[in-house]
Amino acid sequence: MIDLKFLRENPEIVKQNIKNKFQDHKLPLVDEVIELDATARKTQQEADELRAKRNQLSKEIGKLMGQGKKDEAEGIKAQVNEGAKRLAELEAQEKELQEKITKIMMTIPNIIDPSVPIGKDDSCNVEIEKFGEPVVPDFEIPYHTDIMERFGGIDIDAAGKVAGNGFYYLMGDIARLHSAVISYARDFMIDRGFTYVVPPFMIRSNVVTGVMSFDEMDAMMYKIEGEDLYLIGTSEHSMIGKFIDTIQNEDKLPYTLTSYSPCFRKEKGAHGIEERGVYRIHQFEKQEMIVVCKPEESMLYYEKLWQNTVDLFRSLDIPVRTLECCSGDLADLKVKSCDVEAWSPRQKKYFEVGSCSNLGDAQARRLKIRVKGRDGGKYFAHTLNNTVVAPPRMLIAFLENNLNEDGSVSIPAALRPYMGNKEKLVCTH
């Protein structure tokens, strides 16, 4: 959510930003919110004048009563009562206008960074850099679920009977590999100075609307029936919510945190043949990284965050690339974002395994996460998040890139301590 004062003073900048995000249907909202804001400020001014007059008259009533001039005091009381009726009307109008303004402001997209490429959708995203040499082996790479089945490591049919589509059972060495990757990612981030956190896996609605746009909320979140609780789609939601309605001391910034959680997502819409198996599911586990920092440091941490993911994947012998998200592919709260994509030797192309985002002060403004500077002034923090690793997709990349011609899977040295020091997984089926 952008600053209302900024919108009021820079409506054309806000409108151009909306155009850059190809959301022209939102253009009328800028003028609408400016008009509502003008009415709200006029209403507030009249209400403030009435409050000041009420205070003044109350003092006069007290003075007259002290002088025994009861009739005069009663006359002034009648004025106060009349003003109270009008004040009640104005306060109700103030509340209604503020609710309308807030609702609109929550749908106007954040101002994107000037470096973001302009494009309508993800087809316009721009490759930044490749890390590692993508290899296509001489032998055929099976589909990832076929590889898992060779190890007796997955049962999608049974999961379908228990929970429906979009779920799976992992078993044996594949389940162990899943847990090993999460544990390795946790320690990898701790070694880089991040504090490990296990957060709540459910959050209230005011936190949900604080961390994401309404469109994202509708497409992703599962609501707990009969309660004001939602299952988290990523631990970022719960982690940023940790700071809701707080004033942080500037000297304590930045907060660099890495969190583990299961994630639950509706994953609405139809998906292609390559997204079956464990590519796009309703439940998975993830290691996340979150930063809360001063505004002038957010771009520095943005660069550090995506680099952490690249380094982790490279330590597991997986080639990756970074892809700059264009304006039309950015969620409304994001200032800048890039995807980390892993190489798929089977598909002979890269696919998304993580996303790094700088949200500026959008989440902090919604959740009232403020910072007290050394001069005593207060300002909104900046928040960032990035995927360390999400094992379902990591497993796909890991198995394809470490598969050997004889069907075994090599385990890179970095992961061996988490896999009982095994150097390979060998098929028993």
Label each residue of the chain as H, E or C. Answer: CCCHHHHHHCHHHHHHHHHHCCCHHHHHHHHHHHHHHHHHHHHHHHHHHHHHHHHHHHHHHHHHHHCCCHHHHHHHHHHHHHHHHHHHHHHHHHHHHHHHHHHHHCCCCCCCCCCCCCCCCHHHCEEEEEECCCCCCCCCCCCHHHHHHHCCCEEHHHHHHHHCCCCCEECHHHHHHHHHHHHHHHHHHHHCCCEEECCCCEECHHHHHHHCCHHHHHHHCEECCCCCCEECCCHHHHHHHCCCCEEEEHHHCCEEEEEEEEEECCCCCCCCHHHCCCCCCCEEEEEEEEEEECHHHHHHHHHHHHHHHHHHHHHCCCCEEEEECCHHHCCCCCCEEEEEEEEECCCCEEEEEEEEEECCCHHHHHHCEEEECCCCCEEECEEEEEEEECHHHHHHHHHHHHECCCCCEECCHHHHHHCCCCCEECCCC
> Could you read off the pLDDT of 325-356 as tens digits, one per residue?
999 999 999 999 999 999 999 999 999 999 99
What pLDDT score does 202 carry? Answer: 96
* Token pair 């969620």: residue: 331
Residue 222 placed within a domain: yes
65-69, 127-131, 346-350, 419-423: least confidently modelled range: 65-69
Same domain (yes/no): 302, 249? yes
**Same-domain status, 91 and 186:** no
196: domain CATH number is: 3.30.930.10
Q: Residue range 249-272: average pLDDT?
A: 85
Q: Report the percent of the chain where pLDDT is more than 90.
A: 80
Please indicate, yes or no, whether residues 213 and 346 belong to a single structural domain of this protein: yes
Domain end position, chosen among 72, 105, 138 = 105
pLDDT confidence band for 273 (50 / 70 / 90): very low
Is 144 a domain residue? yes
Mean residue pLDDT across the chain: 91
Based on the fold, state whether residues 16 and 47 are members of the same structural domain: yes
Last residue of a domain, one of 55, 72, 105: 105
What residues make up the domain containing 38? 4-105
Same domain for 298 and 376, yes or no, is yes
Q: Is residue 114 part of a domain?
A: no
Quick check: is 392 in a domain? Answer: yes
202 touches 233 (CB < 8 A): no
Across 43-55, average pLDDT: 82
Whether 375 has a pLDDT exceeding 70, the answer reads yes
* Residue 113 forms part of a structural domain: no
Say whether pLDDT at 80 is over 70. Answer: no
Please tell me the predicted confidence (pLDDT) of residue 270: 43
Which band of pLDDT confidence, cut at 50, 70 and 90, is reported for residue 214? confident
Same domain, 93 and 138: no
Q: How many domains in the chain? A: 2
Nearest CA among 306, 312, 373, 318 for reference residue 351: 318
CATH code of 61's domain: 1.10.287.40
221 and 134 in a common domain = yes
- Rounded average pLDDT over 33-43: 95
pLDDT band at 153; cut points 50, 70, 90: very high
Any domain includes 111: no
pLDDT over 80 at 74, yes or no = no
Identify the band that residue 54 occupies on the pLDDT scale cut at 50, 70 and 90.
confident
Whether residue 372 lies inside any domain: the answer is: yes
The pLDDT of 3-32, averaged and rounded, is 97
Does 116 map to a domain?
Answer: no
Whether residue 248 sits in one domain with residue 215: yes
